[in-house]
Structure 1
């Protein structure tokens, strides 16, 4: 679809271009022979239609701009060759205004260099045909003014378009920055509220006791620290059931690690609920020493992988930092992204 504004401009330009052909027909009796004038009219009509074609891009192709310049010179030669430059020819010099119109269209379509070449070629043809004084009587100066105005307006509109794009981009950047700041603020408030919910009672107890807490309470602090860490790394792996079962597993002595690498981001809320419920049941039944719950990669059919490990019997391994070398897999579960049939 053509924009209404552009359609109106093209229609007006088409009517103005056609007006020169009307003048040519009106004054067809003035030239010595009408046939060169008819040829000039056909050439002018063809390039005008090509230059004003509605589906063409705003920037005129180089080949079309060069064709316009060539046609303007050929048209001037055809018309002037049939006129006497020593007398006033009236509307028979319609080709001067026609060339000015064609070059104005060329300038508007961002080919100002070619437009000025066309005006210079027209001026040379007029001077050779008559004399320099004819530049003022045939309308060459007026054609040059049209091209100058079109050139200036084209540059101004191009600059305005660039400024508009810059402002639009700046607005998008500002909106993105604001959204980021609001998201960070919301996330920060959520983390603080969650920390207060999870660790608040224990922190108040520590303050009330002056830091003199029992070994069981110190152990519980470690569990609460793990719960806070889960909120950061677990993301969509967590719901209230999973949080409850993870805390219960840690109290049973199981080391639980939750890692959400984004594998659940594109799943529906219903699919996440199904996966989270399965995770909670698996953790509640686990008797492993270590549990690792991690989301799958995008190309995997598994949404979540649960691995349970039995720690090796070497008591010095963990002290020496070699824990995991003798661990063996005791549990392995892959929870698919799609619910199984039935």
Structure 2
């Protein structure tokens, strides 16, 4: 139900009590005190129902409502005779009015103040006319309204919290399912790609009974390296790069591709431009070792390419020297930083 409709209904119900008080204005001994109570009640109700306020009532407003409730009883009850013949009728409108005001206070999550007002109403009624009046003039009914408001308010707050938790759980489940589907797709894609790459050579191995020529053995090594590229260098590969990497290996170079996530989420057109530049760089170098690595995602550089060639005749490496893993004996033939097209445009 829209909040504006609820506020309108509460305002009409609050005004109804004032109408009842005016209808029985001849019963109190001093109508001016009753009219003053009506003004206080109307003012407190209006302040409590003004639009644009936070859901939880401010403390000062809740305290004001309790003070108005106490003032109403002190203004009206001295003007009424609890032993009046025929009863007081609607002259006790203030009891229902206090119940309404305190129900509004409780609905706006100031339950302690609402119950404090009810306790003061009960005490004042017993002091004024005895416990028998609690039921006859509607004090029990006002307390019941506050109790129902308190229960419903707590239930709605719990339902809202549960709904937020369920929504969060649903989002997490959706994210988990999307991640699982992405992993499944990636796995199936890689398996299909590996099968496509390896199937021709596997048929050759099957037909030859495992007896391969030296050239076929080298092709197996190239194929193994290509499959490894698909795992370690995913975003560094397109058809042009694959072709140039294979050509470099066949001419004796060692090519290593490292995709560390720096190209994830890059615009597809920019991605292709970057990889085309990488393919050109691999084709244009005669280095014996070529290393391509993605830069961090927040860098203006997309890919760094390094080409190294051993100094001298490379005999130390061929003999398995301890310097094999050391780049100090390598000459840098190629050092290329491929920028991101978007970073280049912004500069």
Same structural fold, with TM-score higher than 0.5 when normalized by the shorter chain: yes
**SS of residue matched to 2:341:** coil
Match of 2:11 among 10, 14, 29: 14
Match of 1:47 among 20, 44, 47: 44
Q: For residues 193 and 17 of structure 1, what CA distance do their matches in structure 2 show?
A: 73
* Range moving further from structure 2, 134-143 or 154-163: 154-163
Q: Deviations over 1:127-149 (max 9, x none)?
A: 12221111112110111111122
Q: Which runs of 5+ in 1 are unaligned?
A: none
Q: Residue 73 of structure 1 aligns with which residue?
A: 70
Q: Which runs of 5+ in 2 are unaligned?
A: none
Contact 2:285 2:333 in 1 (8 A): no
Match of 1:330 among 318, 328, 333: 333
Q: Does 1:120 align with 2:123?
A: no
How far 1:192 moved relative to its partner?
A: 0.4
Contact 1:233 1:259 in 2 (8 A): yes
* Range moving further from structure 2, 10-19 or 25-34: 25-34
Q: Residue 111 of structure 1 aligns with which residue?
A: 110
Q: For residues 111 and 35 of structure 1, what CA distance do their matches in structure 2 show?
A: 31
Q: For residues 195 and 73 of structure 2, what CA distance do their matches in structure 1 show?
A: 87
How far 1:319 moved relative to its partner?
A: 4.0
Q: Residue 282 of structure 1 aligns with which residue?
A: 281
How far 1:111 moved relative to its partner?
A: 2.6
Root-mean-square deviation over aligned CA pairs: 2.2
Q: For residues 260 and 63 of structure 1, what CA distance do their matches in structure 2 show?
A: 61
Q: Deviations over 1:141-169 (max 9, x none)?
A: 11111112222222222232233233323
Q: For residues 166 and 204 of structure 1, what CA distance do their matches in structure 2 show?
A: 55
Q: Residue 272 of structure 1 aligns with which residue?
A: 271
Q: For residues 186 and 234 of structure 1, what CA distance do their matches in structure 2 show?
A: 18
How far 1:187 moved relative to its partner?
A: 0.9
CA separation of 1:336 and 1:105: change in aligned 2, threshold 3 A: same
Equivalences for residues 177-326 of structure 1 within 5 A: 177-313=176-312, 315-316=315-316, 319-320=321-322, 322-326=325-329
How far 1:101 moved relative to its partner?
A: 0.6
**TM-score normalized with structure 1 length:** 0.90
Q: Deviations over 1:261-309 (max 9, x none)?
A: 2222343221112111111111111111211212222332222221112
How far 1:75 moved relative to its partner?
A: 2.2
